[in-house]
A and B are shown apart, each in its own frame.
Chain A
Amino acid sequence: MHESAAVSPQNKPAMSKTIVNSICPFCGVGCGIGLVTEKGQVTEVQALRNHPISQGQLCSKGWNTAFGINPRDRITHPLIKQEGQFVKVGWPQALAHIADKLTGYIRGYGADSVGVISSARATNEDNYAAQKFARAVLKTNNIDHCARICHSPSVAGLKQTLGSGAMTNSIDDVDKAEVILVIGADPTENHAIIGGRIMGAKLRGSKLIVIDPRVTRLAQVADLHLQLKLGSNIALLNGLVNIILQQGWQNTEFLSKRCEGLVELQAQVANYPLDEVAKVCGVKGEDLVAAAKLYSQANTAFLAYGMGITQFVSGTNNVIAVSNLALVCGQIGRQGTGINPLRGQNNVQGACDMGCLPNVYPDYQSAADERVRAKFAKAWHTLVAIEPGLTSLGMSNQARKGKFRSQIIFGEDPVVTDPDQNKVAQGIKALDMLVVVELSMTETAKMADVVLPAACFAEKEGTFTNCERRVQLVRQAIAPPFEAKVDWKILAELADFMGMGALMPWQNSEQIFVEMANLSPSFSGMSYALLEQQQGVQWPCNEAQPMGSPCLHGHTFPIGKARLIPVEQTPTAESPDRQYPFWLTTNRLHYHYGCGSMTRQSPLLERETPDGLLFIHPQDARDLGLVDHQAVGVRSRRGYLETRIIYSEQLAPGLLSMPYHFKEAPSNQLTNDAMDLLTEMPELKACAVNLQALDANRQPRSIGEIIEANQQILPLVAGTRTAL
């Protein structure tokens, strides 16, 4: 808060406007955002020139934040469902009700019959409280959140090769790189401020290579664009490694000192000769060689990737192939280099860091390790859960088997966003008690037995951790409206009603942070004061790295030597055929975030993309006799929807692309459920579809209208997966 904000001059009314510097609630870049408040509402937004990441910039989502914080649609009071209707109750009544029930289930069916789903949108403090509530109060490791459909393959893959799944370097490193390689990511749309930094670096002379099936904005300004065929990532990456090893462009010193597995990798990538790779990927051989040379020979090469790598059945192997390339060239462990997965949600990094995963405590301390459990039990002065915990999918499965009684869900809408909507809904119906803590009445909240009003980011203190591991202070701008409360307070009060209030005695979010930092080696050097002074600090921050760590793996990897792991090109689960002749991929638009629940409240952003849309190459459209903006029906083996086409030269002929922000025309109605076995990541980036023109005068129908009109014919799962 501005210093003057707390001071009112004599004989003057209290300030009508104040500015509070906080962190943008949208993507994982973590830009600074000034919230201007008036009469208890956020009315305006300002860019912050001194913020280390955004430096006076914001994307259109950030500039429109005020519209997303809309008190009109908020849940106002705790609600308990009685005979199918929600009834407003006071907090004590709601919490006593939940406490009684939970206690009963735990006594009757054991602690593993209950669980908590935390939120990647909430603060680190909320997430820490959620996992502590599960492990110390409920005595279960049944705690999870939604990271599964964005970067679970990154965590799984990089954990194997490096020992840590986060971005190895910093956003600042973009400016320090001679070469920037972007694979399967569209940062100017999805991580706009990072995308802008990349364009800026390119203007100042860095070389930019883009590997993407679409001609993204970065591809348009790039020195080299490898427009590979959808799903041929591993072939291309193995091909690059093969070229590098054949030409002797590898970093021999780095390989011998820091890596293991080169012999096996070399033998395997030899099966990816240039000509064949060029053919499989649909890319010119000379471009492959040029890319291999640029990337390997640069003093510093920054590699970033996104869901064009992770959202495939081969997601984890794709990540490993990326890692192999960077390791072979030694482009890691120094400024301006690194393997950098661009994460989606504002605090998905933090929710993972805080241990909102069934298998790890905060700071990735293994829940299976008895010493870790003992450490937390001692610190918390209580017994903690011993049995392995369930993932969200696991909880849902157990519920359908009648073995799971109750779930508390914070700020997530699995009924809409989870891959298999029917199964999730069945799981929820099988629960004896569903508690949903939410801002507004989502589809999941409607199914709940108890709904509790939550506070949004502008209404709380705490921290978010952005994609470069920077923990930043979120500052409260306005009071929570009506009866809304911050997640951690709700949990602390609930613990009290369960007779364990002493376990969560916090008066403010800072006390939670202190407790967390004391128990987490990577955070041990952090305090609110340091975060304030440094405008955020990157973990690990400890005695060895008192000011944090902009760059990881400088001398060693968490697993000692990095591992090179041979991986084979795997075809996508589905390819175009006569019946479904087009490839369909998904993309995001700069204007929208996730399922659009916040960004679509902005009249400006909503105007930008009034209907759902499908991008198509003009040649394909002309071949089908489709004019720009014409309504079309799109069908895959799994579903059907209607939307409008937009001519786009960004796509290769034969490839269609669809943003997933629009609930009226959810791309995930069409996308494939086939999964990466290791991580349960569905193949959202590739499937086969066909197109039919609709009558020139007809408006596309929303998915709701289609389902209503056509109950008997269509598969009815309108699964709008939010992939982040």
Chain B
Amino acid sequence: MLQLTPQPMCIVDSYDDGQDAKHFTFEPLGFVHETPIQTGQFFMLSVPGAGQAPFTYTSLPNTNSKGRFVALIRNVGKLTNALFKLKSGAVLGYNGPFGRGWPVAKLQEKEVLIVAGGCGLAPLAATIDYLIDAGQAQTTTVIYGAGEARSQVLKDERAYWKSKLLMHEVMLVGNQIKNLGTPSEHIAQVLADHDRQPQIVLTCGPQAMMKSVADTCVNLVIGSEEIWLSLEKRMSCGVGLCGHCYLADQLLCTQGPTYRYDELLELENKTSQFRPHTGLFSYC
């Protein structure tokens, strides 16, 4: 039977990390995770009085430090607004882990390309850490796009990653001409410059960006079944009940939020007659 009642956890600390974004460290109060958490999975955060919403793990619970973990959260609505006003020590509700994470097992001994946009770096952070820890830094390429310098998130993490692996940062607005543009516009060049030939691609960010990244990679002859995307949708439960995160016949919370590109294309086909205007990958 599912447990809908959250478990308590508290805010250990938080600091500003990118425009309207905060870097939160949470600590479970009186419970431990019994099953290992995959990178790319998510949890439901309850802010008492404000409601529930899904967020991804930026770092996985650390067994050495009371199960603490990190989430990078952007202030976009009522719930995050309430969360941002809370101080260290505040008690929140936690439920998780939920969903299908990144295909970590498949990454072994593969050359990996990670493309993130904006806050989409958050769900990929733990995977990047994993790849570094697994000794795959030399075969991992990260391309990170943001609107402008001040909207970049995970400052400390990025500094560390840059010291370990090939990380290329691009922006829509900025003063370095060579870094201007969207991530997908830079993929081919970055790979050519460093002679990388990725076998598997993980991407997360705005849906239009992911779509563009995926199409670019397909053009670079990477199979759509090797391209993984992480989607985001409104949710009230995280466990396949509330119905908000539907995508055709699937529920993102249990069957996603990570999908292979070929799966998504198939889902898109059966989703809606409205593909030309507002299907899966378009903006309204």
- Interface of A toward B, CB cutoff 8 Å: 610, 628, 697
- Of all chain A residues, the one with the shortest Cβ separation from B81 is A699
Cβ–Cβ < 8 Å partners of A628 in chain B: 284
Within the complex, what minimum Cβ distance (angstroms) separates B206 from chain A?
Answer: 15
- Of all chain A residues, the one with the shortest Cβ separation from B284 is A628
List 4 A-B pairs, minimum CB-CB distance, nearest first: A628-B284, A610-B78, A697-B20, A697-B19
Q: Tell me what chain A mostly uses at the interface: helix, strand, loop, or mixed.
A: loop
Can you list 4 contacts pairing A with B, beta carbon distance less than 8 Å? A610-B78, A628-B284, A697-B19, A697-B20
Cβ–Cβ < 8 Å partners of B20 in chain A: 697
For chain B, give the interface size range.
Answer: under 10
- Of all chain B residues, the one with the shortest Cβ separation from A606 is B78
- Of all chain B residues, the one with the shortest Cβ separation from A603 is B51
Within the complex, what minimum Cβ distance (angstroms) separates A690 from chain B?
Answer: 27
- Interface of B toward A, CB cutoff 8 Å: 19-20, 78, 284
Within the complex, what minimum Cβ distance (angstroms) separates A1 from chain B?
Answer: 34
- Of all chain A residues, the one with the shortest Cβ separation from B283 is A628
Within the complex, what minimum Cβ distance (angstroms) separates A316 from chain B?
Answer: 44
Cβ–Cβ < 8 Å partners of B19 in chain A: 697
- Of all chain A residues, the one with the shortest Cβ separation from B77 is A610
Instruction: Give the CA-CA distance A361 to B118 in the complex, in Å.
Output: 68
- Of all chain B residues, the one with the shortest Cβ separation from A628 is B284
Within the complex, what minimum Cβ distance (angstroms) separates B192 from chain A?
Answer: 35
Instruction: Give the CA-CA distance A698 to B222 in the complex, in Å.
Output: 41
Within the complex, what minimum Cβ distance (angstroms) separates B51 from chain A?
Answer: 9
Cβ–Cβ < 8 Å partners of A610 in chain B: 78
Instruction: Give the CA-CA distance A610 to B20 in the complex, in Å.
Output: 20
Instruction: Give the CA-CA distance A528 to B78 in the complex, in Å.
Output: 48
Cβ–Cβ < 8 Å partners of B78 in chain A: 610
Instruction: Give the CA-CA distance A628 to B284 in the complex, in Å.
Output: 9
Instruction: Give the CA-CA distance A610 to B78 in the complex, in Å.
Output: 10
Instruction: Give the CA-CA distance A628 to B19 in the complex, in Å.
Output: 22
Within the complex, what minimum Cβ distance (angstroms) separates B49 from chain A?
Answer: 12
Instruction: Give the CA-CA distance A77 to B217 in the complex, in Å.
Output: 69
Instruction: Give the CA-CA distance A697 to B148 in the complex, in Å.
Output: 13
Instruction: Give the CA-CA distance A610 to B284 in the complex, in Å.
Output: 18
Within the complex, what minimum Cβ distance (angstroms) separates B276 from chain A?
Answer: 18
Instruction: Give the CA-CA distance A697 to B74 in the complex, in Å.
Output: 13
Instruction: Give the CA-CA distance A628 to B20 in the complex, in Å.
Output: 21
Instruction: Give the CA-CA distance A697 to B284 in the complex, in Å.
Output: 18
Within the complex, what minimum Cβ distance (angstroms) separates B50 from chain A?
Answer: 11
Within the complex, what minimum Cβ distance (angstroms) separates A299 from chain B?
Answer: 41
Instruction: Give the CA-CA distance A628 to B78 in the complex, in Å.
Output: 20
Within the complex, what minimum Cβ distance (angstroms) separates B234 from chain A?
Answer: 10
Within the complex, what minimum Cβ distance (angstroms) separates A698 from chain B?
Answer: 12
Within the complex, what minimum Cβ distance (angstroms) separates B283 from chain A?
Answer: 10
Cβ–Cβ < 8 Å partners of A697 in chain B: 19-20
Instruction: Give the CA-CA distance A434 to B51 in the complex, in Å.
Output: 40
Within the complex, what minimum Cβ distance (angstroms) separates A611 from chain B?
Answer: 11
Instruction: Give the CA-CA distance A697 to B20 in the complex, in Å.
Output: 10
Instruction: Give the CA-CA distance A697 to B78 in the complex, in Å.
Output: 16
Instruction: Give the CA-CA distance A469 to B76 in the complex, in Å.
Output: 48
- Of all chain B residues, the one with the shortest Cβ separation from A629 is B284
Within the complex, what minimum Cβ distance (angstroms) separates B179 from chain A?
Answer: 22
Within the complex, what minimum Cβ distance (angstroms) separates B279 from chain A?
Answer: 18
- Of all chain A residues, the one with the shortest Cβ separation from B51 is A603
Within the complex, what minimum Cβ distance (angstroms) separates A415 from chain B?
Answer: 28
- Of all chain B residues, the one with the shortest Cβ separation from A647 is B284
Within the complex, what minimum Cβ distance (angstroms) separates A73 from chain B?
Answer: 15
Within the complex, what minimum Cβ distance (angstroms) separates B130 from chain A?
Answer: 34
Within the complex, what minimum Cβ distance (angstroms) separates A626 from chain B?
Answer: 16
Within the complex, what minimum Cβ distance (angstroms) separates A183 from chain B?
Answer: 33
Within the complex, what minimum Cβ distance (angstroms) separates B22 from chain A?
Answer: 16
Cβ–Cβ < 8 Å partners of B284 in chain A: 628
